[in-house]
Amino acid sequence: MNRPPNISDPLVLFMPSGKRGRFPRGTSVLDAARELGVYVESVCGGRATCGRCQIEVQEGSFAKHKIVSSNDHISAVGPKEQRYVDKRGLPEGRRLSCSATIQGDLVVDVPQDTVVNAQVIRKAAIDRIIERNPAVQLCYVEVDPPDMHKPLGDLDRLKAMLDRDWGWDNLLVSQYLIPQVQGILRKGNWGVTAAIHRDLEASRPNIIALWPGLHNEAYGIACDIGSTTIAMHLVSLLSGRIIATSGAPNPQIRFGEDLMSRVSYVMMNPTGRAALTKAVRDAVTELTRKVCAEGGVDPNNVLDAVIVGNPIMHHLFLGIDPTELGQAPFALAVSGSVHTWADDLGLGINTGARIYMLPCIAGHVGADAAGAVLSEGPHRQDRMMLLVDVGTNAEIVLGNSERVVAASSPTGPAFEGAEISSGQRAAPGAIERVRIDPETLEPKYKVIGVDQWSDEPGFEKAAGTVGVTGICGSAIIEVVAEMYLAGIISEDGVIDGSLAAKSSRIEQSGRTWSYLLREGPQRILVTQNDVRAIQLAKAALYAGIKLLMEKQDIQEVDTICFAGAFGSFIDPKYAMVLGLIPDCDLAEVKAVGNAAGTGALMALLSRDYRREIEKTVRKIVKIETALEPHFQQLFVDAMAIPNKTDSFPKLAEAVKLPPRKLLGTGADGSSGPRRRSREERAARRSRDG
């Protein structure tokens, strides 16, 4: 495009971004896309050899856009493109945008499969299409051979060509490559592909890898380091497609089941920090090897990584002693995003590969919560979103485009089945669903690995194979909620011993009572202590949420997202019956899976998301529950089922149950006080800071 466009030039509309512009006839579609900032990958620099820049012309009359688009409006396949088609083939209707030129009005489709995978779209398409903008770009160049008249070094001539052909000036080069440049240039007969990493605008782009000839593969990993499980996606940075997804247990478990016991291990053992760091790095390395093997990808082609994790996982991965996070004031060593090198951490991917770690929000609200925020986007919408990730600590985020607040609350391990007499991890033999008949107080339940419910024919035979060994986290919520709905426990959480007269399932255990969920040689009881443990955990969660609602000055939330494994298995209805979460339209309560990992994936595919979450995290108002005198009262109120002061009218309507049980035990039982005006809320906020 040598002259500015004018009104008689063809109009080109790119889908799905909707970006449009006029371009002189003969402009390549790739140049037009670049001019408009539409991301179309290209490695070969317009030589029609890499095949990455495929597009499709949508034929037809697009009245809304006043465009009639036709394949007649794009140049015929020329010799270079034909050579590619003959050699590699192109799907029906596809063209190489570097070779195809604009000859008339066009609606150009940048195929979805090369934009981003479907899963990510589901998560993030709340308000927009993901535009890819990865931190790593592959650039093929043909370098001048050495010339004694102009004795520029091989690396210097490579840089000059990356500037001329791709516009990269001021390139730095990774130290490890310097001794390799000459050999690679000669092996490629002066044609080489450079991987350029640029992330922050203020930082110089960097040649991080170099291959002889045209190199057409670049991958990244997005990794969520959980205390229990490490989850990883392997993604093509060129197509945006997820190549493989896998998980592995966090081997740090052998040093301590929960986070605080691992911090204790570090405090007690001089080599503890090093051992925990090595364990997690080795596990990430091994998982990387695994996803690469599954995807048939050479680990040397993995050039970028995005890592999230809670603050303790984040710190241990970076080799930082987490002791400060185990005690007030819970000081993070680093809260901002971290840019580092895979090689320093020994991940076994390309020597030049980079690592980006999302920012941490606060001492107990980590980069995993930041990832979940990036994925679910409370800051991108006007509705008030509650985002909860339940673990030993619950990370709680509440907000909308106006303001986001965050806190953590010490729920303890009860929700994960620890501290529960018959609690166990979700595994074959664990009870995962429970119903109790309010009349007879008889239960029925479902067991992982058995198709039938316990009251269906064939259950005992099938259960005999796997065994019925305990109750997993999701079923603990259900059984306590069902006990409440059946009247076995009171609002205060006390098992009503008088019902022993009515049902033999109410059993005395010392001075308290239990509910016999399963009879037989391996009896499964829900004890008064179990109910208490759940009450304490749910009270901590609810009090944290309530505190944030007060900070936002709202009485109800519009939507609730449960992130993490716990959220995927529990039934939102029972979570609400028990009072884990506030009243909400049940259709608006959803499990969002590993949202932290999805956020990492988004940051891997576009550095725009990195800037977005950095900016968002800086603006998030952090609430430290330990510093809030009011928190204790909220906690006490939340010990009641579902809550001492709050009512749950939406839930009551949805589950068609007697309103008494779900309208709270508040003095008046009214369905929620009036909402404050916007002005009143703003005034309160300026007080809170």
**Count of residues making up the chain:** 689
Buried residues in 572-586 as b, exposed as e (16+ CB within 10 A): bbbbbbbbbbbbbeb
φ, ψ of residue 221 to 5 degrees: the values are -120, 140
One residue of 1, 129, 626, 655 binding a copy of itself per CB under 8 A: 626
- Asked if 9 interacts with a copy of itself (CB under 8 A), we say no
One residue of 79, 89, 167, 179 binding a copy of itself per CB under 8 A: 179
- Minimum distance from residue 180 beta carbon to a copy of itself (Å): 9
What type of residue is 203?
A: S
- Asked if 504 interacts with a copy of itself (CB under 8 A), we say no
One residue of 156, 382, 451, 456 binding a copy of itself per CB under 8 A: 156
Collapsed DSSP state (helix, strand, coil) of residue 59: coil
Count of residues that interact with a copy of itself, criterion CB under 8 A: 53
CA angle 413, 419, 422 (to 5 degrees): 120
One residue of 147, 439, 668, 679 binding a copy of itself per CB under 8 A: 147
One residue of 182, 189, 440, 509 binding a copy of itself per CB under 8 A: 182
- Asked if 327 interacts with a copy of itself (CB under 8 A), we say no
One residue of 172, 275, 418, 586 binding a copy of itself per CB under 8 A: 172
Rg (CA), the chain: 29
- Minimum distance from residue 638 beta carbon to a copy of itself (Å): 22
Can you name the residues that pair with 211 across neighbouring β-strands?
Answer: 193
CA-closest candidate to residue 431, choices 368, 359, 495, 522: 522
Stretch that binds a copy of itself, among 142-150, 255-263, 280-288, 571-579 (CB under 8 A): 142-150
- Asked if 181 interacts with a copy of itself (CB under 8 A), we say yes
- Asked if 637 interacts with a copy of itself (CB under 8 A), we say no
**Alpha carbon distance 35, 42 (integer Å):** 14
Q: Which residues contact 285 (CB under 8 A, 6 or more apart)?
A: 346, 347, 348
Q: Which is nearer to a copy of itself, 108 or 308 (CB)?
A: 308
One residue of 338, 372, 489, 545 binding a copy of itself per CB under 8 A: 338
- Asked if 267 interacts with a copy of itself (CB under 8 A), we say no
φ, ψ of residue 235 to 5 degrees: the values are -130, 140
- Asked if 602 interacts with a copy of itself (CB under 8 A), we say no
**Alpha carbon distance 157, 171 (integer Å):** 12
Q: Which is nearer to a copy of itself, 181 or 613 (CB)?
A: 181
Q: Which two tokens stand for residue 594?
A: 């590993």
498-502 long-range contacts, Cβ below 8 Å, gap at least 24?
Answer: 499/441, 502/441
Residues 408-447 that bind a copy of itself (CB under 8 A): none
Contact 609, 603 (CB under 8 A): yes
Stretch that binds a copy of itself, among 9-17, 121-129, 535-543, 622-630 (CB under 8 A): 622-630
Cα 622–chain centre separation:
20
**Alpha carbon distance 623, 404 (integer Å):** 11
Q: Which is nearer to a copy of itself, 532 or 685 (CB)?
A: 685
Stretch that binds a copy of itself, among 61-69, 168-176, 246-254, 392-400 (CB under 8 A): 168-176
Stretch that binds a copy of itself, among 317-325, 396-404, 541-549, 608-616 (CB under 8 A): 317-325
φ, ψ of residue 228 to 5 degrees: the values are -100, -45
Residues 349-388 that bind a copy of itself (CB under 8 A): 360-363
- Asked if 464 interacts with a copy of itself (CB under 8 A), we say no
**Alpha carbon distance 19, 178 (integer Å):** 41
Cα 260–chain centre separation:
24
- Asked if 200 interacts with a copy of itself (CB under 8 A), we say yes
Q: Cα–Cα distances in Å, from 130 out to 39, 110, 115, 383?
A: 10, 12, 8, 21
- Asked if 547 interacts with a copy of itself (CB under 8 A), we say no
Torsion of CA 293, 294, 296, 297, to 10 degrees: -60
- Minimum distance from residue 441 beta carbon to a copy of itself (Å): 46
User: Which residues bind to a copy of itself, rule: CB under 8 A?
Assistant: 145-156, 159, 170, 172, 175-176, 178-179, 181-183, 200, 202-204, 318-321, 324, 328-336, 338-341, 344, 360-363, 622, 624, 626-627
